[in-house]
C-alpha cells in the first residue's frame, strides 16, 4: 500500500502524511527533505544551487548522516531546494531511494506514505491512494509564517508569501517531474479545514479505497 501526497509549499501535506502514517502504522518519507538536504550541502560549501555540476555531485553523494543536525527548514534552504530540484541529474540520483522506500518500506511496515511534488505522477504512479493537497497562497503563507517566526522574530509574512509563490512557480514550470496533480489524485483543499478536519477527510478517502481493495 502506498499513499502519495503532492501539492504546493505549506499546503499541509507533510502534516497529513505524518498523521496518516501514524494512524495506519505505515512508514513515512518526506521527500522534500532530500532536495533540501542536497541544497543545504551545496550552500554549506558556499556553492551556487543553480550550478548543475555542484548540485548533481551533492545529490550523487547524498547520505542522511551528512545533514545531521542541519536546519534545513529555513526559507533560504527551501528556495535553494527548488533550484536544485529542477536539475535532472539531481532528480535521477534521488529517485531510486524514494522508489525503494515505497516498494519495501523500512521496519517491515505494511505500507508507505510519501509526500512531495511528483509522488503520484513519477515516483509512485501506481500508488494505492493519491492526494493533491492545496490551500490558498494567503493561508499557506500565514501558516508558514506562524511556523517560522518564533525562530526569526521580525520575519515578514509578505516575504514568506512572495517566497512561496516563486517556489511554486519554479516547481510547476520545470521540465522534469514538475509539480502536478496526477489524473487520479483526490483534490484536498485545506484552506478552510482545521488539521483534524483535513485528516478526517483524508481518512474517509483512504478507508473507502481500502474497503474496495478488500
Ligand X SMILES: Nc1ncnc2c1ncn2[C@@H]1O[C@H](COP(=O)(O)OP(=O)(O)OP(=O)(O)O)[C@@H](O)[C@H]1O
Residue 78 CB, nearest distance to ligand X (Å)? Answer: 6
131-141: burial string, b at 16+ Cβ within 10 Å, e else: bbbbbebebbb
What are the start-end ranges of the H helices in 174-194?
Answer: none
Q: Which of ligand X, ligand L45E5XJ5, none interacts with 75 (beta carbon under 5 to 8 A by kind)? A: none
Radius of gyration of the chain from its Cα atoms, rounded to whole angstroms: 17
Q: Is 25 assigned a ligand-binding role in the annotation?
A: no
| Among 64, 3, 69, 6, CA closest to 38 | 64
Nearer to ligand X, 99 or 143 (CB): 143
- 8/78 Cα distance (integer angstroms): 12
Q: What does 169 bind: ligand L45E5XJ5, ligand X, none (CB cut-off 5 to 8 Å by kind)? A: none
CB 139 to ligand L45E5XJ5: min, Å: 16
| Residue 111 contact among ligand X, ligand L45E5XJ5, none, beta carbon within 5 to 8 Å by kind | none
Considering beta carbons, is residue 36 or 130 the nearer one to ligand L45E5XJ5? 36
Amino acid at each position: 500500500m502506498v499513499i502519495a501526497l503532492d501539492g504546493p509549499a505549506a499546503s499541509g501535506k507533510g502534516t497529513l502524511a505524518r498523521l496518516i502514517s501514524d494512524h495506519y502504522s505505515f512508514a513515512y518519507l518526506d521527500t522534500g527533505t532530500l532536495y533540501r538536504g542536497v541544497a543545504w550541502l551545496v550552500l554549506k560549501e558556499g556553492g551556487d544551487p543553480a550550478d548543475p555540476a555542484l548540485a548533481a555531485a551533492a545529490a550523487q553523494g547524498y547520505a542522511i548522516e551528512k545533514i545531521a543536525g542541519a536546519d534545513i527548514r529555513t526559507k533560504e534552504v527551501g528556495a535553494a531546494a527548488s533550484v536544485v530540484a529542477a536539475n535532472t541529474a539531481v532528480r535521477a540520483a534521488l529517485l531510486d531511494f524514494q522508489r525503494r522506500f515505497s516498494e519495501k518500506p523500512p521496519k517491515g511496515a505494511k505500507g508507505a506514505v510519501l509526500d512531495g511534488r511528483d509522488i503520484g505522477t513519477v515516483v509512485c504512479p501506481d500508488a494505492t491512494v493519491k492526494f493533491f493537497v492545496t490551500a490558498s497562497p494567503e493561508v499557506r503563507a500565514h501558516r508558514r509564517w506562524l511556523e517560522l517566526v518564533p525562530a526569526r522574530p521580525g520575519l515578514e509574512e509578505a516575504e514568506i508569501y512572495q517566497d512561496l509563490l516563486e517556489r511554486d512557480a519554479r516547481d510547476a514550470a520545470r521540465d522534469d517531474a514538475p509539480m502536478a496533480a496526477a489524473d487520479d489524485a483526490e483534490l484536498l483543499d485545506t484552506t478552510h479545514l482545521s488539521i483534524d478536519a483535513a485528516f478526517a477527510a483524508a481518512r474517509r478517502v483512504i478507508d473507502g479505497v481500502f474497503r474496495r481493495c478488500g
